[in-house]
DNA sequence: CTAATAGATCAATGAATCTTGATGCATAAA
DNA sequence: TTTATGCATCAAGATTCATTGATCTATTAG
């Protein structure tokens, strides 16, 4: 198991940050239907090209998506590993590893 | 089922934004072990009082945690509903509802 | 009542983000 | 080679965020 990311607040924050924007969530919502190029996203999402490019970069830097060049088009798609990582992260927010706090306060 | 939040990018972004900060993730990491007051968090997290208060407010406004007053102490704990909501959100990033895109690009 | 304590809130500063329009760089068509 | 297209990147401005120290409020102890 990887496990390292779950214990790393900065990495976790980076991943959650990538998801903390409506435009980026809409991008992911499109990409989950399959690979897609920027020009198509521009159509679907009513967003300017440089704006999309900016958000795609955030998602890519965080590892949420991967890209592939084909001729002059860039195809983006969701990175399945990142989704697994997300699952781990959300799980790690739940598990109580130690026994419930025994002492009261202060 | 609720379902509404999953389809709402702003709400989803708010929830993810609350998780997009190392300090807040550390707070949640403490709270998942059980209810905790601010003074105890201050000790454990090496963080100033107003800083903690700020982040606790962000988490509370997003619905990630709930508070309870007891005397002059405020006890915070994780909101289980929000964890379920998170699960839904992460799931919604995976499911491909339509068939894979048939057309090529542009 | 007065003093002390827990914690929220405010004000100010600096850092990070997002948006827009312009420019640059490939690749492909003519 | 010239021209057009797809997209990344840059620069500037606006907005949001995070941190710190100060102040305010509620509660409890003396």
Which ranges of chain A have pLDDT less than 70? 1-7, 97-106
The whole-number pLDDT of residue A1 equals 44
Protein-proximal positions, strand C, CB < 7 A: 5-11, 17-22, 26-28
Given a contact cutoff of 8 angstroms between Cβ atoms, the answer to whether B47 and B23 are in contact is yes
- Average pLDDT of chain B is 88
CB-based contact A100 B33, cutoff 8 Å: yes
Q: What is the pLDDT of residues B72-96, one digit of tens each?
A: 999 999 999 999 999 999 999 997 7
Grouping H, G, I as helix, E, B as strand and the rest as coil, residue A84 is helix
Q: Does B25 touch chain A if contact means CB atoms closer than 8 Å?
A: yes
Q: What is the pLDDT of residues B19-35, one digit of tens each?
A: 999 999 999 999 999 99
The whole-number pLDDT of residue A9 equals 73
Please count the CA atoms within 13 angstroms of the CA of B45 that sit on its side-chain side.
27
The whole-number pLDDT of residue A97 equals 59
CB-based contact A9 B17, cutoff 8 Å: no
The whole-number pLDDT of residue B95 equals 72
**Subset of residues 75-104 in chain A with CB less than 7 angstroms from any atom in strand D:** none
Residue A95's φ and ψ, nearest 5 degrees, are -55, 125
The whole-number pLDDT of residue A95 equals 72
All structural domains of chain A, each given as residue ranges with its CATH number in brackets, are 5-91 (1.10.10.10)
CB nearest A34 (choices: B35, B86, B100)? B100
Amino acid A19 CA to nucleotide C18 C1' distance, rounded Å: 14
CA distance B100 to chain A (A): 6
């Amino acid at each position: 198991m990887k496990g390292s990311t779950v214990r790393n607040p900065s990495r976790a924050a980076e991943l959650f940050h990538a998801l903390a924007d409506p435009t980026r969530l809409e991008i992911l919502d499109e990409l989950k239907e399959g690979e897609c190029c920027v020009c198509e996203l521009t159509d679907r999402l009513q967003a300017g090209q440089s704006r999309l490019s900016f958000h795609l970069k955030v998602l890519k830097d965080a590892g949420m998506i991967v890209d592939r060049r084909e001729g002059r088009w860039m195809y983006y798609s969701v990175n399945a590993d990142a989704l697994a990582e997300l699952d781990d992260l959300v799980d790690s927010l739940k598990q109580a590893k130690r026994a419930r706090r025994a002492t009261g306060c202060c």
